[in-house]
């Protein structure tokens, strides 16, 4: 018997790069990899592609972010560029109210400058959350310079999507394994900054802070909860459940089940990493994964869309 379909999903993990900012991701790659990124970059710049799965009924909405890593090639992005990116994204999501939900993109390590842009993006532009990199250089999100941005998000009551980056030197060390090596490096830094938020007492000092990590950070989630009995603090699991959400990138039933068992059903969000990891319809795939993970119809509906609606305060 086929798995019942969940309601149309809200894809929390969707990228976009306005054509005004040409992508740099294909530069210097071997021909086959460059061709793949050229295809991805074309999708990233195409607003019609962004809404195609909404129009087909596969999705209810996309939560859209603009990663600077797609065009900045590791350079520090100036405030004027962040402002222009956020203005452009706000204009785009306004064309599809309720179907496109935007996140304010900032350099989390820019101190009060980042905090001010978050406030502008939420209060003036109507964006519903924040999008930041997991790290910059050796700094993770417990760094003092990141505290104003996190404080702003907590004060405004909006979530922070903490996205992986390519950490060095680990990315170079794993470059010979182009697919798994890249994912391992990116997952490591995503997990590391989650551990930093716990061990650096960020969650203690910002009790209203909500963050979202990707499935790649599952190792950090498990270690923080006390995997193998080595949790550094006895309240680590309760901190995770109060502050941390995780997406379903990859739609692996085993990982979805672990995420639900660890963080609770309220803290797992449908997310596909469109169009980089996934560029296909996901509703059928998600339904099968939710069923294989042991989610009943009500739980599947929460992960599909209900949790994102509550976290982002959308109808």
* Entry field: residues in the chain: 315
pLDDT in tens, 130-142: 999 999 999 999 9
Tokens of 260: 């639900």
**Mean pLDDT in residue range 230-245:** 86
- Topology adopted by domain 9-312: TIM Barrel (3.20.20)
182: left (phi over 0), alpha (psi -120 to 50) or beta: alpha
Query: How many degrees, rounded to 5, is the angle at CA 88 between CA 21 and CA 151?
Result: 105
Q: Label residues 57-73 b or e (16+ Cβ within 10 Å = b).
A: ebbbbbbbbbbbbbbee
**For 259-303, how does the pLDDT look when each residue is reduced to its tens digit (9 = 90+)?**
999 999 999 999 999 999 999 999 999 999 999 999 999 999 999
Q: What is the mean pLDDT of residues 129-157?
A: 97
Write down the domain spans for the chain. 9-312
- Could you tell me what percent of the chain has a pLDDT over 90? 86
Look at residue 129 in the predicted model and tell me its pLDDT.
98
pTM to 2 decimals? 0.95
Q: What is the pLDDT of residue 225?
A: 82
Alpha helices in the chain (DSSP H): 31-44, 47-55, 79-94, 112-123, 147-156, 170-173, 180-199, 202-205, 218-225, 236-243, 253-263, 283-292, 297-301, 307-312
Question: To which residue do tokens 């999708």 refer?
Answer: 43
Indicate the helix (H) or strand (E) that contains 65: strand 59-65
Tokens found for residue 141: 């999100």
């Amino acid at each position: 018997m086929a798995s019942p379909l969940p309601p149309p999903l809200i894809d929390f993990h969707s990228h976009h790069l306005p054509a005004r900012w040409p992508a740099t991701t294909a530069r210097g790659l071997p021909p086959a990899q460059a061709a793949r990124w050229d295809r991805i970059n074309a999708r990233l710049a195409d607003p019609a592609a962004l809404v195609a799965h909404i129009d087909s009924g596969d999705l209810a909405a996309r939560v859209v972010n603009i990663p600077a890593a797609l065009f900045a090639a590791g350079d520090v992005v100036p405030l004027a560029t962040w402002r222009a990116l956020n203005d452009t994204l706000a204009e785009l999501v306004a064309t599809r109210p309720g179907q496109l939900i935007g996140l304010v993109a900032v350099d989390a390590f820019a101190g009060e400058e980042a905090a001010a842009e978050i406030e502008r993006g939420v209060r003036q532009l109507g964006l519903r959350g924040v999008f930041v990199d997991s790290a910059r250089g050796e700094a993770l999100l417990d760094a003092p310079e990141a505290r104003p941005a996190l404080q702003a998000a907590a004060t405004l009551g909006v979530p922070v999507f903490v996205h992986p980056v390519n950490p060095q030197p680990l990315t170079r060390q794993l470059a010979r394994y182009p697919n798994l090596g890249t994912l391992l490096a990116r997952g490591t830094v995503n997990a590391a900054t989650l551990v930093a938020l716990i061990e650096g007492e960020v969650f203690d000092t910002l009790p209203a802070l909500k963050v979202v990590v990707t499935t790649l950070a599952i190792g950090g989630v498990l270690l923080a909860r006390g995997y193998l009995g080595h949790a550094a603090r006895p309240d680590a699991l309760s901190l995770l459940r109060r502050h941390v959400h995780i997406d379903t990138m990859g739609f692996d039933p085993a990982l979805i089940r672990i995420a639900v068992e660890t963080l609770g059903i309220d803290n797992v969000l449908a997310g596909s990493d469109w169009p980089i990891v996934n560029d296909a319809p996901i509703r059928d795939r998600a339904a099968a994964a939710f069923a294989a993970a042991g989610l009943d119809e009500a739980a599947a509906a929460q992960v599909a869309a209900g949790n994102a609606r509550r976290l982002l305060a959308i109808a």
